[in-house]
Chain A
Amino acid sequence: MTSRKSPGMNRRQALFSIGTAAAATGLATTGRAAELHGFPHETAMSADHLPVPAHRGGSFRILTDETDRATLKAAFDRLIPADDQGPSASEAGCLEFLDDQLSRPYGEGAALYLDGPMNREREAAIMGAAQVFATPRDRYAAGLPALEAYAQATDGAAFAALSPDRIDEILTGLEAGEIDLGDDVDGQAFFELMLQNAREGYLADPLYGGNRDMAGWKMIGFPGARYDFRPYIDKRGEELNLTPVSLIPND
């Protein structure tokens, strides 16, 4: 049953249609048409996949105590001192980097398991290494005053006022586990935390507040967030002199 029998239809038009030509060809130099459904046409990244830059404005949020900051700066700048290779840790923004991180989930120990069951006395034996039960934020809040108190007790001076050699001596003692910072602070673990954070601040992407002017990357020759290294892959052993690139470039 069709409805197309109509008196006015021109014979030529009746013979002609888009579809007839379709049936006639079959020439297909190419494959069958196909559509894919269910994949996203949008390519913009969702917000939770984007990097979160450091707070702007330069004021400290967590490391608000000036003595604490001075102590930390003194320690950081012995871990990475300024020399002809590059700026010191604090000059590269490591304090700002750390302050920002401590204000975020890292500072809250979001990635750490800090709940029970646990037997604090035996955890180290069970786990085979010293265990820390405090968040990084709390560890700095306890560790920096303890370090200052240690300097006052042994040297009668502020930690930040000590000579570089004396600071090195204390840091070396902490690293070796030979200096006791009191019941609340594991000196050796605190040293490791500071060393780790100083390195991170010096080498993380500048968008996180440290590695100012990409000084850390320039020092080690890291070319940064480049997408593709094929143009250089054959240039083994050559000085490439690539300018490092931040994930969020500012120029």
Chain B
Amino acid sequence: MASIKKIGAGVLGVAVIAAAGAGVWAYQTLNTSRSAVADDTLTLAEFTSEDQDAIARGEYVMRAGDCVACHTRGAGAFAGGYEIATPFGTLVSSNITPDVETGIGAMTERDFFNAVRHGQGSEGMLYPAMPYTAYAKLTDQDMHDLWDYMSTVEPVSNPIDENGGMRFPYNQRLAMAGWNMLFFDNAGFDGDPEAERGRYLVDGAGHCSACHSPRNELGAEMASAYLEGGVVDGWYAPDLTQNPHVGLGGSTAEEIADYLRTGSDGTSVAAGPMAEAVEHSLQYLTQEDALAVGSYLTSLDASDVAPVAPLSLETAEMQRAADDYEVNCSACHGLAGEGITGMVPAFAGNTAMLSNPTGMIHAMLKGARAPHTGVLQTAAGMPSFAWKMSDAQVAEILTYVRNNWGNGAAAVDPAAVAQMREDLGAREKIGTPTN
């Protein structure tokens, strides 16, 4: 039950606070008046747009927002059913096809705006696993177009009990009002979405901070560490600021655009949840939009993460790791850590892997796959090494690549590998007759 979108995971405890904070605060959080621009008479089931331009634009909004990531999972396009494990129980993504009984066919455009931008759905408050926290920034026009697109979606009957797997009191949707009051900025985009196209895409539809910003104990993004990296579902979403040691400090807007549209900037290759995001969403961005995102990201102030002095490779452990690297890794990642352009990540000059090693441990234990995109179609696979390497061996080899070829990073702790092995249900190393 992997879930990138464990987003609202830590969230729900706040529930109770809802009752307390009435007044203006609550009013601002719950106020949907800016979405009164949308029609409130015609339901989605009754409406089928014939405005082909609007539909095409709406599809692009849908791609940019990556709706399919959660809402298309085996039951048909947008028919929901994706199970999201949280510490409070299991959430299931909703059916957002125009089916009246089981989808959103009974919603008017106003209802749709309220759900997507304000987190207020037809069955009550949405859980913030749905990134309405970011979609709140979507312009009226983008929302109108998205509505037109959704009207063309094939209705699918697929009943979903979204929060039936949540434990009390987290199965009380009203609880989210409390969370919203604490953490949800209900306002629209606070700038000119045309002039600040990159920021609009990153903070709105792209909902990048959902993964790339760290979250507090209640599952809310920490604004003070905006896009400075976060752990999501056993993967690390790297620092996207201009930090030269662990972030995008050395990257140009063009390289970032390439990464978004193809899955690789020539050095690193998307994996895990980011591979899915590239595959289902980001590869659909126009070059202009991808460049806008790149330009915005390269304009961010660097986080204050300091460089780590490289560990010595002269120790017995690192010499052994060098042999292990040659035997197991070098065929694809290269003897000089150079990788294979556009297919296999390089280690040399790959700053994204020098901070939190969670994703690397994950890839070692479960394997990983590059995204399949229109440009880079190999979708090369990283095999799992769980069956042939112990926790100590995995840690050692990761420490080696993180401290070779000009890299410098903290040693990887075998205990972290052991924990991840357990969390992921990865198999133990095969026991041999001599150990």
Q: Which residue of B lies closest to A54 (CB)?
A: B433
Stretch at the interface among B50-58, B173-181, B344-352: B50-58
Across-interface contacts of B87 in A (CB, < 8 A): none
Q: Is the C-beta of B203 less than 8 angstroms from some C-beta in chain A?
A: no
* Total residues of chain B contacting the partner, CB 8 A: 82
B245 to chain A, nearest CB (A): 29
Across-interface contacts of A35 in B (CB, < 8 A): 279-280, 372
Q: Is the C-beta of B118 less than 8 angstroms from some C-beta in chain A?
A: no
With A16-B139, A17-B139, A33-B284 given, is the CB distance from A227 to B60 under 8 Å? no
Q: Which of B247-301 contact A (CB under 8 A)?
A: 258, 261-262, 279-280, 283-284, 286-289
Q: Is the C-beta of B152 less than 8 angstroms from some C-beta in chain A?
A: no
Are B327 and A245 closer than 8 Å at their CB atoms?
yes
CA distance A60 to B286 in the complex (A): 67
Name the interface size band of chain A. Answer: 35 or more
Are B49 and A2 closer than 8 Å at their CB atoms?
yes
A73 to chain B, nearest CB (A): 18
Q: Is the C-beta of A21 less than 8 angstroms from some C-beta in chain B?
A: yes
Q: Is the C-beta of A43 less than 8 angstroms from some C-beta in chain B?
A: yes
CA distance A20 to B197 in the complex (A): 12
Are B374 and A33 closer than 8 Å at their CB atoms?
yes
Across-interface contacts of B205 in A (CB, < 8 A): 18
Q: From the candidates B60, B108, B280, B331, name the one contacting A228 in the complex (CB within 8 A).
A: B331
Q: Is the C-beta of B156 less than 8 angstroms from some C-beta in chain A?
A: no
Are A6 and B432 closer than 8 Å at their CB atoms?
no
Across-interface contacts of A58 in B (CB, < 8 A): 433
Q: Is the C-beta of B216 less than 8 angstroms from some C-beta in chain A?
A: no
Stretch at the interface among A45-53, A102-110, A121-129, A154-162: A45-53
Stretch at the interface among A7-15, A81-89, A145-153, A189-197: A7-15
Q: Is the C-beta of A237 less than 8 angstroms from some C-beta in chain B?
A: no
A194 to chain B, nearest CB (A): 21
Q: Is the C-beta of A64 less than 8 angstroms from some C-beta in chain B?
A: no
A94 to chain B, nearest CB (A): 13
Q: Which of A84-103 contact B (CB under 8 A)?
A: 93, 96
Q: Which residue of B lies closest to A47 (CB)?
A: B427
Q: From the candidates B193, B201, B433, name the one contacting A53 in the complex (CB within 8 A).
A: B433
Across-interface contacts of B147 in A (CB, < 8 A): 3-4
Are B372 and A2 closer than 8 Å at their CB atoms?
no
Q: Is the C-beta of B434 less than 8 angstroms from some C-beta in chain A?
A: yes
Q: Is the C-beta of B106 less than 8 angstroms from some C-beta in chain A?
A: no
Q: Which residue of B lies closest to A228 (CB)?
A: B331
Across-interface contacts of A219 in B (CB, < 8 A): none
Are A22 and B287 closer than 8 Å at their CB atoms?
no
Q: Is the C-beta of A19 less than 8 angstroms from some C-beta in chain B?
A: yes
Q: Is the C-beta of A233 less than 8 angstroms from some C-beta in chain B?
A: no
Stretch at the interface among A131-139, A174-182, A205-213: A205-213
CA distance A25 to B201 in the complex (A): 16
Are B197 and A2 closer than 8 Å at their CB atoms?
no
Q: From the candidates B42, B372, B374, B384, name the one contacting A32 in the complex (CB within 8 A).
A: B374
B348 to chain A, nearest CB (A): 17
Q: Is the C-beta of B161 less than 8 angstroms from some C-beta in chain A?
A: no
Q: Is the C-beta of A116 less than 8 angstroms from some C-beta in chain B?
A: no
Are A17 and B51 closer than 8 Å at their CB atoms?
no
Other CB < 8 Å A-B pairs besides A18-B289, A45-B384, A226-B326, 9 of them? A5-B39, A16-B141, A30-B374, A30-B375, A56-B432, A212-B434, A248-B387, A249-B388, A249-B393
Interface residues of chain B, those whose CB is within 8 Å of chain A, are 36-39, 41-42, 47-51, 53-54, 56-61, 64, 108-109, 139-142, 144-145, 147-148, 193-194, 197, 201, 205, 258, 261-262, 279-280, 283-284, 286-289, 320, 323-324, 326-328, 330-331, 335, 366-369, 372-375, 377, 379, 381-384, 386-388, 393, 426-427, 429-435
